[in-house]
Amino acid sequence: MRLVVASGKGGTGKTLVATHLAGLAAGRGIEAVYADADVEAPNGHLFLAPAVEREERHALPLPVLPAGRCAACGACQDFCPYHAILVLPGAPDAPDAPGSVLVFPELCHNCGGCVRVCPSAALSEAPHEDGTLREGRAGPLRFLEGRLDVGEPRAAPLIRDLLRRIPADVFAVVDAPPGASCATTAALSGADRALLVTEPTPFGLHDLRAALRLCRAVEVPAAVVLNRADLGDDRPLRAFLDAERVPVLAAWRYDPDVAAAVARGELAARRVPWLREAAERLLDACLAPAEVDRP
Amino acid sequence: MKQVVVASGKGGTGKTSLTAAFAELAGRPVVLVDADVDAANLALLFPGPDEPAREFEAGRLARIDAARCTLCKRCLEACRFDALRLVERRLAVREIACEGCGVCAVVCPEDAVSFEPQRAGEWTVRETRFGPLVHAELAPGAGNSGKLVARLRETARGLAERLGARWLLIDGPPGIGCPVHASVTGADLLVAVTEPTPSALHDLGRLLELAERFRLPAAVVLNKADLDPAGTALVTAAAAARGAELLGRIPFDPAVPRHLAAGRGLLVVPGVREAVTDCWDAVVRRLEAPAARPEERNDAAV
């Protein structure tokens, strides 16, 4: 079972929900994994304090040109739809170095097409490091995290590789990036269910619509957790969810004690009894084959 | 004209409400950009008529002609984006995964692959009481958010020049990836909004590191400052470590979400109003002071 905790709007409480569900499941003796796929801003480790057992650099294949064989024919440049390759013709009087290729890593999508179309087999691929994958344990809970290097533009490839490390037959909780772009799509891949965390503000509602559209596009059933449910006006949100037949699995109120625990980097349920009970009930609902949004 | 981008690393720290308050304080005419194109909320605070929406096409999608396809599956093996699926003895393109690279067409022996332009979203300009707001909606799961942000900023620059606006304010996306790069490139100042939590502080550090790499001057606003009294010291230290000035502290007020829900901004909340005004004054002082040192700017196209 793979549950992806997403939100549309940032800061609604994805990590709060995801760390609690994963932690409580592991506490029940369930083989559980928490995977932090918010690779631009991974924060789950701050609350779970895992003992990291393995750390590995992640790399993408990037085209490189060993010196000397390029005929500067331009086939790679013509192929590349991302304008990531520039062919520099060599000087006519230097037959040993007839041409070279300039690769712009920040534009390359690593599709491998340029290498395929090179007629002289001059181009090849070499690893370009873009992030770190970390694995460890927080008590009985298995911890996985992707962390994009600062300056790298694309989160999706790192997220895809992170998710490949989730073992089969476990209860996996994936902490997704905010928004509804390609990074969130990557995090939703392979999900059995999405849990969308939102808040009763016009911002929360607007971005929830986008997140729900995305879930439907990738055919992942979605349910909602309403966080800080008493701050703002939840009527427009409830009306929308009713009309869209999206179930609300939990509504958590704003509690300064929860905010204070988050500010200390603690799992709030350890200090706040009502939250612990509410999170246990939410976990029951997530584990049960409940009615969920079937697109 | 000065370009100020409000960003945060972590989401939900108050970028949009701060940008809106800055717009009000900057006064007419200001040009606004909502660069958080997959969760665009600034327009919700600024009612007004939109110009007709313009399609944003970026990239292309593969199509497979079933009449020509012999199901050799070479494309399936070559595609690195998991964008092809064999469904009921037909090869289908998963549009949400296809990046339009064209590798499938290169390996197809039957010439069965063609392309069509990809609709990546739409954008428009809204007339607000403070000036034009350029905003967009990215198509679900689309991967061209950086290009869309670049389009919005280009449009906004044109509008600002035409109107003689002194300020171009950009409501940035969370994170540190491609749309953030597109939002901050060539700006005059990055205002990083944070809050006194370990998560926000952690993400602030990464954002300020990005600013340093882009050689972009950065400053910090601490929002919800009284959530944790010790947080102020930590944020000040984190900002100082990266050479960023702390512009000000905004107190936490649980009434803020209700005011936002009612379409009112931060400036109606006593205590918050004064703090936000101080932050904006600090931005103005910083950018309108005679340039002591010409900042090296990274104007590379995205």
Residue B226 sits in a domain whose CATH number is 3.40.50.300
Tell me whether residue B301 is in a domain: no
Task: Enter the CATH code of domain A2-58+130-287.
Answer: 3.40.50.300
Are B16 and A117 in contact (CB < 8 Å)? Answer: no
Task: Enter the CATH code of domain A66-122.
Answer: 3.30.70.20
Residues B84 and B222 in one domain: no
List, in sequence order, the alpha helices (H) in chain B. Answer: 15-26, 42-45, 74-78, 103-107, 145-163, 178-184, 198-213, 229-241, 256-261, 272-288
Q: Which of B81, B96, B117 is the last residue of a domain?
A: B117
From chain A, pick out residues whose CB is under 8 angstroms from the CB of B262.
233
Pairing assessment for the beta strands B167-171 and B2-7 based on DSSP bridges = parallel
Q: Are the CB atoms for A171 and B166 separated by under 8 Å?
A: no
Report chain B (302 residues): mean pLDDT per 10 consecutive residues: 96 96 95 96 94 94 96 96 92 92 97 95 96 96 90 98 97 96 96 95 96 95 89 88 94 86 88 97 89 47 41
Distance CA A147, CA A57 (A): 10
pLDDT tens column, A13-56? 999 999 999 999 999 999 999 999 999 999 999 999 999 999 99
Three-state SS at A276: helix
Which residues, listed in sequence order, are joined to residue B138 by a DSSP beta bridge? B121
A260 and chain B: CB distance < 8 Å anywhere? Answer: yes
Residues B11 and B70 in one domain: no
From chain A, pick out residues whose CB is under 8 angstroms from the CB of B175.
40-41, 155, 177-179, 183
Which pLDDT value is given to residue B226? Answer: 85
Are A152 and B260 in contact (CB < 8 Å)? Answer: no
List, in sequence order, the alpha helices (H) in B132-252. Answer: 145-163, 178-184, 198-213, 229-241
Which pLDDT value is given to residue A92? Answer: 65
Tell me whether residue B300 is in a domain: no
Q: How confident is the model at residue A189 (pLDDT cuts 50, 70, 90)?
A: very high
Using a cut of 0.90, tell me whether the model's pTM lies above it.
yes
Tell me how close the Cα of A256 comes to any Cα of chain B, in angstroms.
9
pLDDT tens column, A244-264? 999 999 999 999 999 999 988
At A38, list the tokens.
């918010």
Residues B28 and B131 in one domain: yes
Domain at B107, CATH number? 3.30.70.20
Residues B160 and B233 in one domain: yes
Q: Which of B99, B117, B135 is the last residue of a domain?
A: B117
Which pLDDT value is given to residue B196? Answer: 92
Are A217 and B59 in contact (CB < 8 Å)? Answer: no
Where do the domains of chain A lie?
2-58+130-287, 66-122
Which pLDDT value is given to residue A111? Answer: 96
Strands lying side by side in the sheet with B189-194: B54-64, B113-128, B131-138, B30-34, B167-171, B2-7, B189-194, B218-222, B245-249
Note down the domain range covering B162.
Answer: 2-48+121-288
Residues B146 and B82 in one domain: no
Residues B146 and B240 in one domain: yes
Q: Which of B46, B60, B178, B226 is most worth mutating to test chain A (most A CB atoms within 10 A of its CB)?
A: B178
Which strand (E) or helix (H) includes residue A58? strand A51-64
Dihedral of CA atoms B265, B270, B275, B279 in degrees, nearest 10, equals: 30
| Total domain count, chain B | 2
Are B199 and A182 in contact (CB < 8 Å)? Answer: no
Are B199 and A217 in contact (CB < 8 Å)? Answer: no
From chain A, pick out residues whose CB is under 8 angstroms from the CB of B141.
180-182, 184-185, 214, 217-218
A198 and chain B: CB distance < 8 Å anywhere? Answer: no
Which pLDDT value is given to residue A206? Answer: 95
- The ipTM (two decimal places) reads 0.91
Residues B214 and B83 in one domain: no
pLDDT at A294 over 60: no
